[in-house]
Structure 1
Amino acid sequence: MAGEGQDNLWPLPKFYFDVKLGSNHKTVSFQEVSGLDTESQLIEYRHNDNKMFSTGKMPGISKSGNVTLKKGIFVNDNSFWTWYDAIKMNIIKRETVTIQLLDENASPTMTWTLANAWPTKISSTDMKSEANEVAVESLELAHEGLTIKNGG
């Protein structure tokens, strides 16, 4: 069989994960998480007496994209809309969001933490009379920093 006689190092599957919202660490089941990325803006610089006719490159300000979470819609579950509706003229309820990739024993192998996250967009499901699928809503979160660590 495939894999026999080899070492036991395999890439992690991405389908078993856990998302905790807020300071009370409420676990919410999601179908999909995307947008866990960060990048450094590029600064090009050249000294006026440099013999090379090209610029040097160095890292600038870091920025992170918004994170999108998708989940099924349940009866009487308006928690995201309530969170979004709490945003009023410079009053934003910011939360810590923790996303963990789990192993077969439900132990975290990687943890992504979003600092000061808040909902910037909510998209409800589309509706089709001949559709045969679950109603899914998506929540887009802006945040002020993404940290990653191995394990729990």
Structure 2
Amino acid sequence: MAIYRDNPYGAFNFRVSLGEGDDAGVLGGFSDVSGLGTEINYSEYRNGNEKFNTVRKIANTFKQEDVTLKRGLVGSTALFEWVKQVREGSNGRRTVVISLLDESSRDVVAVFKLLNAQPKKWVGPTLAAKGGGEVAMEELHLVHEGVVYE
């Protein structure tokens, strides 16, 4: 796994598995992964006989941010099929694994697992006939119940 070094790892070498086996779950190359984060809520508490006139901060619940995956449209309908499965009432929970790779050796240096991830929103490509060289992109927004960092 991650080895301490003076220079940080590049954010451009990563692999995403959507919970369908090792390489079978990698459905095309994703160009962006964003939203890996958590936010902890705090309650303020103060005893009536506190010596200092300040409140204590006590951690309570926490929220997980939605994760967004973006990729060029590659002809695979697997992302849309997952959304359709959940939309029609099936249990679509998966463990999504995002692996950060070393730039030179391509060894896995960090793993982020999204527990019980489900699709929240799928956005298809913006199509415009203006003659540009843009890539047709799709994005998938995921909700999940926790991030495990390995």
- TM-score norm. by structure 1 comes to 0.86
Query: Counterparts of 1:68-83 in structure 2 under 5 Å?
Result: 68-75=68-75, 77-83=76-82
Indicate yes or no: 2:135 matched with 1:138.
Answer: no
Amino acid in structure 1 at the alignment position of 2:133:
N
**Which residue in 2 is equivalent to 1:100?**
99
**Which residue in 2 is equivalent to 1:58?**
58
Name the Cα RMSD after superposition: 1.5
Query: Counterparts of 1:10-29 in structure 2 under 5 Å?
Result: 10-25=7-22, 26-28=25-27, 29=29
Percentage identity across aligned positions? Answer: 33
Report SS of the residue matched to 1:84.
helix
**Which residue in 2 is equivalent to 1:86?**
85
Displacement over 6 Å in runs of 4+? none
Amino acid in structure 2 at the alignment position of 1:102:
L
Counterpart CA distance in 2 for 1:83 and 1:123 is 13
Tell me the number of residue pairs that the alignment of Structure 1 and Structure 2 aligns: 141
Q: CA deviation at 1:42?
A: 1.2
Change (3 A) 1:123 1:89: closer
Amino acid in structure 1 at the alignment position of 2:85:
A
- TM-score norm. by structure 2 comes to 0.87
Amino acid in structure 1 at the alignment position of 2:12:
F
Counterpart CA distance in 2 for 1:92 and 1:100 is 25
Report SS of the residue matched to 2:79.
helix
Q: CA deviation at 1:52?
A: 2.3
Amino acid in structure 2 at the alignment position of 1:142:
V
Change (3 A) 1:60 1:94: same
Q: CA deviation at 1:21?
A: 1.1
